[in-house]
Amino acid sequence: MKSNRAGAVTWLLPVRPEVSPLISTSANLNGQEPARSVTEILQQFDQQLGVVLDAPLGGQLQPTQIRDGRTGQIIRPS
């Protein structure tokens, strides 16, 4: 993880059972286009999320690369 600190990478890390997962700004269902607004997120996930934060996305034009935080394996390329 240290080698990618400056880049746009989403790391999947194991959590404890009492901790809810965090969905990144490139939230989308498999095969769907990335949701880039609260409206698009709610349309795609339809009542499946407990909370959606309405905040700036940070200017990324493409979804981030996703890696396994334990192994470094690339799950989704950028």
66, 12 Cβ separation under 8 angstroms: yes
Helix (H) or strand (E) holding 66: strand 65-68
Tens of pLDDT, residues 53-73? 787 766 777 777 888 888 889
Inter-CA distances, 42 with 12, 17, 29, 61, Å: 22, 25, 12, 20
- pLDDT at residue 23 above 60? no
Q: Is the pTM of this model over 0.75?
A: no
**Residue of higher predicted confidence among 27 and 36:** 36
Q: Which of 6, 52, 56, 58 is nearest to 27 (CA)?
A: 52
Q: Average per-residue pLDDT in the chain? A: 76
35: Cα within 13 Å, side-chain hemisphere: 20
